[in-house]
Amino acid sequence: MKHAVILGAGFGGLELASRLSHSLAGEVRVTLIDRNDAFTFGFSKLDILFGRQDAAAVRIPYRDLAKPGVEFRQERITAIDPAALHVTTDRGSYDADVLVVALGADYDVAATPGFAEGGHEYYSIAGAERMRDALPGFTGGTILIGVLGQPYKCPPAPFEGAFLLHDQLVERGVREETEIRVIAPMSAPVPVTPEVSQRFLDELEARGIEYLAKNRVVELDPSGKEAVLESGERLPYDLFVGIPIHRAPAVVEESGLAPKGWVAVDPDNLMTPFPDVYAVGDVVGLPMAKAGVFAENAAGVVADGITARLHGEELARRYEGEGNCYIEFGGGRVAKVEANFLGGPAPTAQVVGPSESLAADKESFASTRRARWFGG
């Protein structure tokens, strides 16, 4: 029996383990490794931030994973040797016939001096909890939301944060005393296509939220409450919210798989230059957005690729970088962006909705995945 080792039990790793469990039962056994004891959907951080759910309620423990042929190990991966298909962890080591790197992206908070002391973020569970607890103390002034680097996960998420923050401040009666400014390196929000960007610009404008394009906060001065821009200009703030700089996990950087910062893959089948070593999700360096739905889709293509190679066949389809991402505009309005980054000569994308049915679809999104990934 062949041994597939999947590094990381996030969106991509869970989807792949589930697919292999079904499609290659009896032919492949899977070891799924993650340092955490539970999975949490990215968008659950917004639920935590705005007090709709607490962290305990959104954690899905890996001990509930009941997939035939899949063994979960809670271990920290310390070294990856892609040429030897060998992995070392804090508890042991593994030899694989097929190796899949699905380790996501790490946050480099320290890369922005002053950010840890003087700012907030909601991209981690702990950060979302801290910001949730700090928000009641904000009673008016300037909120700066800064995208600190590119690429970052879920391109709409900084704007969803702004829309939902707007709602909360309106509800608390302090929106009129508050200025909200989003500052980001992109020429427009969610710049996959001009139409999608325009939609976000319209939604921002409707709420009186300013978008400062092609600008980046490189440092915070927490004592003076000023954000320092790349240009040297300084912007005052009362509350700073940053989307941290993302980078590949150190263990991936050290493996030689990511010579340009993110893992290099063949965009058609997601195989790295090392035979039988694949990568999916945020850790991959492709010209497309980082989001769970894309990681999930990539995992489907890799599952088909592994099956094809095992059976001596050709992979019958190629990866197109497609996916549908839900967006919260606030006030219960849920839309989605339907995107395809790699299927044609240029990316295509459109915003659909908002509508009540999309709000219902978003509700069932997590439970459908939970059942597919964790159920037997």
Ligand X SMILES: Cc1cc2nc3c(=O)[nH]c(=O)nc-3n(C[C@H](O)[C@H](O)[C@H](O)COP(=O)(O)OP(=O)(O)OC[C@H]3O[C@@H](n4cnc5c(N)ncnc54)[C@H](O)[C@@H]3O)c2cc1C
**Spatial CA neighbour of 144 closest among 183, 200, 193:** 183
What is the number of helices (H) and of strands (E) in the chain? 10, 22
Beta carbons within 10 angstroms of residue 181's beta carbon:
18
Report in angstroms how near the CB of residue 277 gets to ligand X at its nearest.
16
Comparing every residue's Cβ against ligand X, the nearest one is 10
Residue 368: what residue type?
T
Which DSSP string do the residues of 22-43 spell out, in sequence order?
HHTTTTEEEEEEESSSEE--TT
3-state SS assignment for residue 298:
helix
Contact footprint for ligand X (CB under 6 A): 8-13, 33-36, 42-43, 45-46, 76-77, 102-104, 122-123, 153-154, 157, 249, 251, 281-283, 290-293, 295, 325-326
Q: Closer to ligand X at the Cβ: 15 or 276?
A: 15
**Distance between CA atoms of 247 and 279, rounded to whole angstroms?**
15
Q: How far is the CB of 173 from ligand X (least distance, A)?
A: 26
* Collapsed DSSP state (helix, strand, coil) of residue 88: strand
Whether the Cβ atoms of residue 273 and residue 260 lie closer than 8 Å to each other: no
Give SS3 for 352.
Answer: strand
Helical (H) or strand (E) element with 323: strand 322-330
Q: 8: phi > 0 → left, psi -120 to 50 → alpha, else beta; which? A: left
CB 241 within 8 Å of CB 144: yes
- The conformation of residue 269, written as its DSSP 8-state character, comes to T
DSSP H helices in the chain: 11-23, 44-49, 55-58, 115-118, 125-134, 157-171, 194-206, 250-255, 292-310, 356-374
